[in-house]
Every structure is written in C-alpha cells, then in structure tokens.
Amino acid sequence: MIAVDTLIHARWIIPVEPESVTLEHHTLVIDAGRIIEVLPTHLAQAKYQGACTEALDNHALLPGLINSHTHAAMALMRGIADDLPLMDWLNNHIWPLEQKWMSEAFVRDGTDLAIAEMIRGGTTCFNDMYFFPDITAKQAIQHGMRASIGLIVFDFPTIWAEHSDAYIEKGLALYDRMRHQPLISTTFAPHAPYTVSDGPLEKIRTLSDELDRPIHIHVHETLHEVEQAQQDNGKRPLQRLHELGLVNPSLMAVHATQLTDAEIAMLAEAGAHIVHCPESNLKLASGFCPVARCIAAGINVALGTDGAASNNDLDMFGEMRTAALLGKAVAGDASAVPAMTVLRMATINGAKALGLEHEIGSLSVGKAADVIAIDLNLLETRPLYCPVSQIVYAASRQQVTDVWVAGKRLLNQRQLTTINLDELTAKVAQWQQRLSG
C-alpha cells in the first residue's frame, strides 16, 4: 500500500481532459497537493492508503471552476444600484461610492466576501482586476484560494496610483513579490482601451512579452465604446490594440460583445483569448458575444462572472448555464454551445487563457489538486441521464459539498474551513451601513 494524503472515491469523475469522458466509480488520488492518479475505486483501495479518505457515493468530481473575470471586492456593492442605465449606474452610483469608500479595508473585506462565496460555489481560481491588488493577493493566500491578480493600469489617478507609469511600477513590484507564491499568478490589467493610452499599452505589451504574463483588458464591451473610439481615433479598439501589438496569445479580451467576422478571424489567427461574461452583458444591456462563432473560428473562450455589482453573484454554475442557453439563442441553433463546451469554458479554457493550463483546469495527473464535489442526489437533478448535462442545466452551486485547492480542503460538507463566517458577516454588515449612508 502506498501512503498518500487524500483519496476521494466518487460515483462520477468528469476530468474535462480528455474531453467528453465521464468515469464511474473511480478514485482521485492526491498527494503533496497534486493529483497523482485517477483509477477505478476497487484498484485504488488495493493500491493506496489515504491519510484522509472520502467516499462520495452520489457525487461528481470536477476540476475547480475558474472565474476568468471578476472584480472580487465589488461584492460589497452587490445590489446597491440595479436596473439603471450603464452610465447612470457608473457615474452616479458605483464610481462615487468607490471614490468615497475605496481603501485597503474595503478591498480586504470585499475580497473575503467574494472568496467565501466563490468557494461555496465551486470556484477555485479567480482572475481579478481591481484597486489594491496586493490586498486581494494577500487575502487569497490567507484563505488558501488560487488567484490571478490583475496589475491594474489607468491613465488617470486613483487611490492606487497617480499616473500610468506609477501603476506599472507598483504592478511590477507586486509581480515580483508574488513570483514564488504557489497560489498566485499575475496578469497585466490595463482597464480598457478607452482608459489607457497608446504609450502605457506599448510598455505593457513589452513587459508581457518579457515576463510571459497575460494582458487582461475589457474590450468591445458595448457598441458605445466602439463607436466612441471610431470617433476619437478613427478606428475600432481591437484594430488599435492590433496595431500596438497586443493582439497575440497573451491577450484576454473580456466581454467582446461587438465583433465583426474579420475581428473574429484576427483573434483566432493571433491565438488571443476571449473571456465571455454573459450575465453582466445582459444585465448592463451591453450586447451579445457571438460565442458559437468564436468557438467555431478556433478562439479559446473562457468564462467569467464580472463583479457582483453587475451580475449580482459570483456563481459559475449559473454563468455556465446562461452561457449555454444564451449561446444557443444567439446562434439560432439549439445544438450550439453544448454542456461540455461550457464546462470547458469554465475550467480548462480559463486555465489556458491565464497561462495555467499545465497547473489547473482538468483532473489530470501531475496537476494541482483543485477539485470540487457536487452532490447530484437531489430531486432537482433527478432523474439523471447524463451528469455533465445535469450539472450545467439543472444543478445549482448549493449542490457543491466539498472543495479542495492544491489538495487543501477549503469546503468540508458545505462548511468553509479557512474563513470565519460570523466575523465576515459582521464586517459585511458594517460596510452595508456605511455604503447605505
């Protein structure tokens, strides 16, 4: 018998790689934070002795979900200003609140709320873009959560930095501090083409090349953005990014609701990634990303929730479902964007976009043990003809019972192990009072 840290016997294992495989009565073997074997349970029982053993007879194991675009700390503004036109929402609500309340404490507590929600919902890695990214990274490390931290850049001053050079400098310092943190990776995160000018974008492209880091940027979120850019620069934002050399395999183009055939071809040829945020796009009436066409062209499409202020949750199960349903309607084809495709968007495609495909995104031997278990034995997921279909179209995040990140259990039968729920709730209540004031 080989001694290992953890054995998880499961009714189903959906490894995502190889695609379309669902294993039955298999066991995931974890040691030193990594997956060392996936094999039939009766063989595992003969071969391995686990320091911890779980028998999940009604559950499916999946790779942890990857939320490829969010602003975690905005969870404190969940539902504070709904049903408003985009510019009213930003100018008269979100930005004034951020102006007034943004601080290290806001980002600390908001990130904690978001991490707690994400763990309870089966998300094991989030790709963030917000102020005080150092605090976001610190909180993720503290709670055992995996995060990709956006090194945010604007042209104009905010509480985080004065001008684009200062943003880049602070970002590089954080990159350096985080280089050897196993749970943390970084991306360059120029906010959007309309908030970052050519000079800093070119610097970021050079740094991205040198340090092999993704560039995480909102792009073509709305028709208004594209039209305004055409007025201001005589070109569409993606064309401008292309001319600046940013359309390459490091690009994570978030939203992309406005895409011509030529732009889809350009992104595909360049090996750039799209991060689809369907619920935010719907709620802000931003438009419809042509997901089926992008996938058919060969673009790697990942999935994100956006911040909780425009969603209003960080629920990747809901987001998968919306992506599948909406993808069909936008394509005019009920067979478009099937269940397995959105499950890949929420796992391996996110890993690829973040440059982490050798580490996470599938239950493959050698990868980090970022694993979630879903109880399918509820009447809401009965009868059960196909686990993947049921997970995408009928299951809810409340059916996630257990979550491991790098082999460490962060959710144990629905209980958070690294976050004190009472303390967090009290802090959130204080922020609610302040922000309502």
Binding residues (CB under 8 A) for a second copy: these are 76, 78-80, 82-86, 88-89, 113, 116-117, 120-121, 279, 281-288, 308, 311-313, 315, 318, 322, 324-326, 328-329, 331-336, 338-339, 379-380, 382-386, 389-390, 393-394, 396-398, 421, 424-425, 428-429, 431-432, 435-436
Look-up: residue for tokens 């003809």? 385
CB of 433 to a second copy, least distance (A): 9
**Position 57, amino acid:** D
Q: Choose between 179 and 382: whose C-beta lies nearer to a second copy.
A: 382
Between 133-143 and 104-120, two packed helices, what is the crossing angle to 10 degrees? 40
CB of 237 to a second copy, least distance (A): 20
Alpha-carbon span 181 to 176, nearest angstrom: 10
- Residue 388, classed as helix, strand or coil, is helix
Q: Choose between 76 and 369: whose C-beta lies nearer to a second copy.
A: 76
CB of 139 to a second copy, least distance (A): 15
Q: Is 179 exposed, middle or buried (0-12, 13-18, 19+ CB in 10 A)?
A: exposed
CB of 383 to a second copy, least distance (A): 4
Which residues share a beta bridge with 56? 10
CB of 277 to a second copy, least distance (A): 12
Closest CA to 423 of 145, 142, 123, 122: 142
CB of 257 to a second copy, least distance (A): 9
CB of 424 to a second copy, least distance (A): 7
Q: Choose between 37 and 117: whose C-beta lies nearer to a second copy.
A: 117
Q: Choose between 231 and 433: whose C-beta lies nearer to a second copy.
A: 433
H-only helix segments in 144-222: 164-178, 198-211
Closest CA to 277 of 338, 318, 236: 318
CB of 389 to a second copy, least distance (A): 5
Alpha-carbon span 135 to 73, nearest angstrom: 10
Q: Choose between 299 and 308: whose C-beta lies nearer to a second copy.
A: 308
Q: Choose between 92 and 206: whose C-beta lies nearer to a second copy.
A: 92
The torsion angles phi and psi of 214, rounded to 5 degrees, stand at -65, 160
300-303 β-sheet, strand order: 65-70, 123-128, 146-153, 184-190, 215-219, 251-255, 273-276, 300-303
HSE toward the beta carbon, residue 204, CA cutoff 13 A: 38
CB of 425 to a second copy, least distance (A): 7
CB of 434 to a second copy, least distance (A): 10
Q: Choose between 117 and 134: whose C-beta lies nearer to a second copy.
A: 117
Alpha-carbon span 275 to 260, nearest angstrom: 17
Look-up: residue for tokens 């994570």? 252
Q: Choose between 89 and 167: whose C-beta lies nearer to a second copy.
A: 89
Q: Choose between 31 and 109: whose C-beta lies nearer to a second copy.
A: 109
371-375 β-sheet, strand order: 34-40, 23-31, 2-13, 48-63, 371-375, 400-405, 408-412, 415-416
Q: Choose between 160 and 317: whose C-beta lies nearer to a second copy.
A: 317
- Name the DSSP class of 414: T
- Residue 114, classed as helix, strand or coil, is helix
